Chain A
Amino acid sequence: MDRYLKTLLRFWGTALASQTEYQLNLLFDLLAMGGNLAGSLFVIGLFFQGGRSLGGWTWPEALVVLGVYTMLDGVASTLLRPNLSRIVAHVQEGTMDFVLLKPIDSQFWLSTRTFALGGLPEILGGLGLMGWAAAVAGARPSLVAVGAAALLLMASLTILYSLWFLLATTSIWFVKTWNATEVLRATLTAGRYPISAYPNSLRLLFTVVIPVAFLTTVPAEAILGRPSLRWLLAGGGMALGCFALSRWFWWRALRSYTSASS
């Protein structure tokens, strides 16, 4: 465990050092974050015109959902995309062999090797929006609710990671599946809005098949101070299930991996 922590610090230290070389990029990342957030706020605002609600959620409540989504999107661009997009290159160039030979878990190595500074403004912006909107919505969370919210956010991050890793793993078999993560990304944008704003059929799809509901709506409920034991258990179960699935799938993929030249 100690060894993993030390490795992680090394990984991210070098990533940070190489990226502070390009400071102007950070300006563009900030601009993109601002534009994205302003656009999302504008679109959600359109739904609320004429004093309506969005699937029974008030304006500040819906912004909590958007805050959670923005944070997750930031995590995807900070950690998931930069790391997992390399799996394809490792397979194509044969460097995957070196990764497998290292005396460290290969899934850990591939998932944490580097990070991109560009997503950090989004993570901070998302957290800020979450807190601010929850305060405006009048949430007075008890200690239990805060704990539940933290647990559900962890679960949501785990689910997001597992979904990305599952798709990235398929490139061991089919090299050309990187665009599949674009489909995932497009589908997950559904999480910008509370799940109850969708028609019933989609609500079912987004809860059971593609767990979008557990990514944003369920943690947002807890942040707003109305956690329920049922959703806590469901969220935790879903996260554990997804993570176990990603582990198992990686193990399967490695068994059929035959290196680049063979």
Chain B
Amino acid sequence: MKRGLRLARVLLATQYAHMVEYRTEIALWALSGVVPLMMMALWIHQADTAGAMGAASGGGSELSRVDLARYFLSAFVVRQFTIAWVVFAFEEDALQGRLSPFLLQPLHPLWRYLSAHLGEQATRFPLVLGLMALFLGMVPWAAWLPSPGQLLLALLATGLAFAVNFLVQSLIAVLCFWSERASAIERLHTLAMLFLSGLMAPLEVFPPTMRQLASRTPFPWIIHFPARLLAGADVNVAEGFTALLGWLALLLPLTLLLWRAGVRRYTAMGG
């Protein structure tokens, strides 16, 4: 137990120091997450002009412009803290032969990646706050303050969502042991994430069948659910947490099992 705590402290401290070195790149990376904000502009403009046209019959336009602004701003923040990049880090480590020494150490390599992600999020935190303030300045009429309870729930949901996304990526990364196409699979995963998670449009405007279909995947629970919580919108809290915990319970053993099977057939690059 004591060893575990010390390890965690050392890992987090070194990874944080490492990530702070790359703060410019992380800032640019954070800025490249502006897509939900562009979608916000489009949806708000659409809501405004559709109101003027008065032709909105069905199609789920119950969301007001304030709802839309809060939702997309929240989605932007949630996205920033649920990003995972295990596939890329793992692929590089495997190709460069760094994985072999990691495997010899008495520490599961996934812990190393996890601490790197947490260190990166800590570096990202002030940057996201600044960006959020900037974007909120563009839609001052949407400013809101979530209650402490809501904030806590949103924080918890974002943390769980990150865990799910991290495991999905780890699962894809583990496929590297069998095939060199893991990054191609990751490309397809990125697409599904983009279109099904609610980054491009809130799930409330999806046609019912599409919405149901999306809910069967982990993606909307990773962005849409925590974002709705943070925005203070009406949301089924129990259902969301059940889904997140369910995905965790499914993915964690699966990833660890596949990892063990993969390590057994690992022969190191060039070996």
By a beta-carbon cutoff of 8 Å, the part of chain A in contact with chain B is 24-25, 28, 31-32, 35-36, 39, 42-43, 46-47, 49-52, 54-55, 174, 176-180, 182-183, 185-187, 189-190, 193, 197-199, 202
Contact = CB atoms under 8 A, between A and B. Distances in A.
A198 B200 CA distance: 15
B137 to A, nearest CB: 13
Nearest to B33: A186
B29 interface: yes
Contacts of A46: 201, 205-206
| Interface secondary structure of B, over-half rule | helix
Interface in B29-76: 29, 31-35, 38, 41-42, 44-46, 49-50, 53, 55-61
B32 A183 contact: yes
Contacts of A52: 46, 50, 53, 55-56, 59
B195 A197 contact: no
Given A49-B58, A180-B28, A187-B34, A32 B45 contact: no
A49 B28 contact: no
B187 A24 contact: no
B181 interface: yes
B71 to A, nearest CB: 14
Given A46-B206, A54-B46, A199 B41 contact: yes
A183 B60 CA distance: 32
B188 A28 contact: yes
Contacts of A24: 181
A193 B42 contact: yes
Nearest to A48: B59
A32 B22 CA distance: 30
A257 to B, nearest CB: 21
B22 A39 contact: no
Contacts of A189: 35, 38
Interface in B176-196: 181, 184-185, 187-188, 191-192, 194-195
